[in-house]
Structure 1
Amino acid sequence: MKCGIVDVGSNTIRLSIYQWEGRQFKLLMNKKEMAGLAGYIRNGQLSDSGILVACRVLADFNALLDNFDICDIHVFGTASLRNITNTEEALDTIEAVTGIRIEVLSGADEAAFSFLGATVGGGAPASGLLADIGGGSTELVAYTNGSITSGCSLPMGSLSLFTRHVSGLFPTREERRAIRAQVEAELEQAKTRGIHSSHLIGVGGTFRAAAKLCNDLSGADSNNRLIPADEVRGLYKRLKHGDQTALRQILRSVPDRVHTILPGLVILNAVLKHYEVENLCVSTCGVREGYLLQRVMGVNGHV
């Protein structure tokens, strides 16, 4: 069987097409649009322009699935639709225009789906910590012997921090301080506080971009997913000090994240410090795979 899973996020809207049977699945295609919905939030509401952007992307994805004769489509939203005051109005408008009803995940469900997707293939430490840094929220999950012991969703992400604090393309020293202060305050309130883990599983675009930049700058294999925490700290220092080699590498490797990479790295570095992380493993799977497994395939997970 084939299906399309659409993740309506704060920074990107992503379509993943899967073929699945029983408890096995295979990714056939990925497509993303840098919709930047967090940038359309005004006074806590997603603007009409932002709603129309979501409608356009979803209509395009639906047409693409029709071309492949795939009628099974599942669409969920995260912080982009969860952390606004006009959620129902936005959902009703999107459904009226596109015929698609979006399921808005709670922060707890998003964290659990990310964990299920990232750990389903095995190979992860039996106990540890997972972080999913998105455009509008950050999910943290502590687990022991493969089961979640605590988790939370924090209302901060790479794009929402950029939108709130940054006036130009790159944050100034004062803007970085403001971002760091918000991040540290949120981590102090996290339900996972007091936990220490030498290993971290990383999910989301900030982790993928950081790994790509670290690999490019160190000369490591481009497919390497095991990154020492010190390399991430070094990357952040180079970028915040305006290292031209590192900045040019952003434009070559992750140009669509040129404005969000520094805010995302502030979150990432704070997580590394807060939980005393020594190494991180960047997962190739996450919330979409967890949603597929639990909601579509009916695999028992931690949701």
Structure 2
Amino acid sequence: MKCGIADVGSNTIRLSIYRWEGTQFKLLLNKKVMAGLAGYIKDGALSDSGILVACRTLAGFRALLDNFGLHDLYVFGTASLRNIVNTEDAVQTIREVTGLTVEVLSGADEAALSFQGAAAGGGASSGLLTDIGGGSTELVAYDGGRISSGCSLPMGSLSLYTRYVAGLFPTREERRAIREQVEAELERARTAKVRCRHLTGVGGTIRAAAKLCNDLAGTDPDNRIIPAGELQTLYKGLKKGDRDTLRQILRSAPDRVHTILPGLIILNAVMKSYGVETVSVSACGVREGYLMNRVMGVTQHD
């Protein structure tokens, strides 16, 4: 069987088309639109313009699936629709305009589905999963392949950029303000006393950071294991915000040029809080978890 999964995020809206049978699946196509919905939030509400961007993007995805003769398109929203005051109105408008029903995931559901998807991709049986999105960051500690604790923090690479940064790259004062909020959110999560030497990373920020690290080190672009020290060094180099920084980001992760530094501030703070030594970049995440759980009916402990 084949289906499409659309993920309405704060920074990107993504479509993944899968072929699946039983408990096995294969990714056939991935399409990403840099919608930047977090930038359309004013006074806590997603503006009409932002809702229109979501509608146009999803309608385009629907048309793409129709061209392939595929009928099943499942749509879910994360922080982009969860952390606004007009969630119900936005979801209703999307349904009226596109005919698509959007499931808005809770922070706990997003964390659990990110873990289920990442676990399907293999990796360490114990450690910490971090999903740094555009509008939220999910943290899941796991042991023996099972979640021991998890939380969703209302901060992401794009929401922090939108709130604190006036130019393309954050200034020293803006970086300090971002870092203070990140550290306060981590402290509020009350999980910082947990120690996890290994972190599994999910989301665009971590994938972009890995690309930049591999480019700097001259290693295989597909390398997915990054020492924490390399990520810290990457941040120290990029925070200069000079012409070389811009050139480097545009070469390896052009669509993250404005959000990579806020995202790295989150990642570095998480690594410091949990004592992380190595980061592995997961090939799978929340969309694969949604496919398995909501579509294929595979529970986390199957």
TM-score w.r.t. structure 2 length?
0.98
* TM superposition shift of 1:279: 0.4
237-246 vs 93-102, which deviates more? Answer: 237-246
Conservation of the 8 A alpha-carbon contact between 1:203 and 1:286: yes
Percent of aligned positions with the same letter in both sequences? 74
* TM superposition shift of 1:94: 0.8
- Give the residue type in structure 2 aligned to 1:250: I
Q: Distance in 1 between matches of 2:23 and 2:94?
A: 32
Paired position in structure 1 for 2:179: 180
Q: Distance in 2 between matches of 1:192 and 1:16?
A: 32
Conservation of the 8 A alpha-carbon contact between 1:112 and 1:302: no
* Matching of residues 145-224 of structure 1 within 5 Å: 145-224=144-223
Conservation of the 8 A alpha-carbon contact between 1:118 and 1:285: yes
Would you identify which runs of 4 or more consecutive aligned residues in structure 1 move more than 4 Å? none
Name the SS of the counterpart of 1:241 in structure 2. Answer: coil
Q: Distance in 2 between matches of 1:245 and 1:141?
A: 35
Paired position in structure 2 for 1:106: 106
Alpha carbons of structure 1 residues 302 and 54: separation in structure 2 relative to 1, 3 Å: farther
Name the SS of the counterpart of 1:20 in structure 2. Answer: strand
78-87 vs 239-248, which deviates more? Answer: 239-248
Q: Distance in 2 between matches of 1:260 and 1:242?
A: 12
CA offsets, 1:195-236, max 9 Å, x none? 011100000000000000000011010000000000000000
Q: Distance in 2 between matches of 1:195 and 1:33?
A: 36
* TM superposition shift of 1:243: 5.4
* Matching of residues 229-248 of structure 1 within 5 Å: 229-242=228-241, 244-248=243-247
Paired position in structure 2 for 1:293: 292
Conservation of the 8 A alpha-carbon contact between 1:35 and 1:53: yes
Conservation of the 8 A alpha-carbon contact between 2:169 and 2:241: no
Name the SS of the counterpart of 2:39 in structure 1. Answer: helix
Q: Distance in 2 between matches of 1:282 and 1:80?
A: 23
Name the SS of the counterpart of 1:114 in structure 2. Answer: helix
Q: Distance in 1 between matches of 2:191 and 2:129?
A: 10
Alpha carbons of structure 1 residues 90 and 25: separation in structure 2 relative to 1, 3 Å: same
Alpha carbons of structure 1 residues 80 and 302: separation in structure 2 relative to 1, 3 Å: farther
Q: Distance in 2 between matches of 1:284 and 1:64?
A: 24
Number of matched pairs: 302
1:11 paired with 2:11, answer: yes
Paired position in structure 1 for 2:75: 75
Q: Distance in 1 between matches of 2:43 and 2:274?
A: 33
1:63 paired with 2:63, answer: yes
- Give the residue type in structure 1 aligned to 2:85: T
Alpha carbons of structure 1 residues 121 and 258: separation in structure 2 relative to 1, 3 Å: closer
* Matching of residues 2-41 of structure 1 within 5 Å: 2-41=2-41
| Structure 2: 5+ residue stretches without partners | none
* TM superposition shift of 1:242: 3.2
Conservation of the 8 A alpha-carbon contact between 1:150 and 1:191: no
Name the SS of the counterpart of 2:121 in structure 1. Answer: coil
Name the SS of the counterpart of 1:70 in structure 2. Answer: coil
Name the SS of the counterpart of 1:252 in structure 2. Answer: helix
* TM superposition shift of 1:191: 4.3
Q: Distance in 1 between matches of 2:179 and 2:299?
A: 38
Cα RMSD (Å) of the superposition?
1.1
Conservation of the 8 A alpha-carbon contact between 1:198 and 1:279: yes
